[in-house]
């Protein structure tokens, strides 16, 4: 007789209202709207049998950063032309460069991307982003085309390591290509390749911050309907 045990991991979803953690002026009308949204989302979650709750309003803006230490992913949606340049002002100071879990920014969560662009720049944060992306979207994206952008710090790529990474990606995706880059203006090079693709998701590490902090490049992200999945870790 064989003893078997099965462990069920229940996913917990947590929402928050950004204005609770920003310097915006609160109003009774805004509170009424917030309460209505909370009731609606809780009811939808109940019908779907999802564990869903809201982060309660706190005076400390560090609460979101502390919560991210226990989160698997933060989703920011929708990200469009009229708000992508306002993200850093809307969120607490240093939010995007201090967050402790991956972030997924997208215009449309129901149909977020058609192609996948992965940046491998030998920084650990990029590999963390890739592994996290695969854990969430690997199975449902196996038919998507993947382009791997590679760049080594000393412009002397480790061919064996890059071949291993390609082989690793081929376990998840049917169509994997590779494009070498150099170290000069890396964020701009990534965007040059991304604009040639159809609604891509950019999977990357800390280089994503250079992209988001550049007004011209960030605008291109929104205008070309791109998504970004990145990690600082």
Q: Give me the pLDDT at residue 7, please.
A: 42
> Which domains are present in the chain?
12-98 (no CATH), 108-230 (3.40.50.620)
User: What is the pLDDT, as a whole number, of residue 160?
Assistant: 77
Give the 3-state secondary structure of residue 16.
Answer: coil
Return phi, psi of residue 140, to 5°. Answer: -85, -5
The predicted pLDDT at position 92 comes to: 80
- Given this model, what pLDDT does residue 25 score? 46
Predicted confidence at residue 6, as pLDDT, reads 41
Tell me, what's the pLDDT at 182? 87
Query: pTM of the prediction?
Result: 0.83
pLDDT value of residue 62: 78
DSSP 103-141: EEE-S-SSS--SEEEEEE-S-HHHHHHHHHHHHHHTGGG
Residues 6+ apart with CB under 8 A from 126: 118, 119, 120, 203, 204, 205, 206, 207, 231
User: Tens digit of pLDDT per residue, the chain (233 long)?
Assistant: 344 444 444 567 778 777 776 655 455 556 788 888 888 888 888 887 878 878 776 556 677 888 888 889 999 988 998 889 888 888 888 889 999 999 999 999 888 899 999 999 989 999 999 999 999 999 999 999 999 999 876 656 677 788 899 999 999 999 999 999 988 899 999 999 999 999 999 999 999 999 999 999 999 999 999 999 999 98
Which helix (H) or strand (E) segment holds residue 90: the answer is: helix 87-90
Q: How far apart are CA 20 and CA 18, in angstroms?
A: 5
Q: Collect all residues with Cβ–Cβ distance below 8 Å to 81 and sequence separation of at least 6.
A: 219, 222, 223
């Amino acid at each position: 007789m064989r003893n078997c045990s099965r462990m069920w991991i229940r996913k917990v979803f947590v929402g928050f209202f950004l204005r609770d953690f920003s310097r915006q002026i609160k109003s009774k009308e805004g509170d009424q709207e917030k309460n209505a949204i909370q009731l609606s989302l809780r009811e939808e979650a109940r019908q779907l049998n999802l564990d869903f709750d809201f982060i309660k309003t706190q005076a400390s803006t560090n609460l979101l950063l502390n919560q991210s230490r226990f989160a698997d992913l933060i989703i920011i949606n929708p990200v469009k032309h009229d708000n992508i340049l306002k993200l850093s002002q809307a969120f607490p100071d240093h939010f995007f460069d201090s967050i402790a879990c991956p972030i997924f920014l997208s215009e449309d969560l129901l149909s977020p991307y058609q192609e996948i662009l992965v940046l491998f720049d030998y920084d650990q944060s990029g590999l963390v982003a890739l592994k996290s992306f695969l854990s969430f979207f690997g199975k449902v994206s196996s038919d998507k085309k993947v382009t791997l952008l590679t760049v080594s710090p000393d412009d002397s790529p480790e061919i064996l390591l890059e071949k291993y990474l390609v082989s690793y990606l081929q376990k998840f995706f049917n169509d994997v290509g590779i494009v070498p880059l150099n170290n000069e203006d890396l964020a701009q090079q990534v965007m040059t390749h991304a604009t040639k693709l159809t609604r891509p998701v950019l999977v990357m590490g800390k280089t994503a911050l250079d992209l988001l902090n550049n007004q011209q490049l960030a605008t291109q992200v929104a205008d070309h309907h791109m998504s970004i999945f990145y990690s600082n870790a």
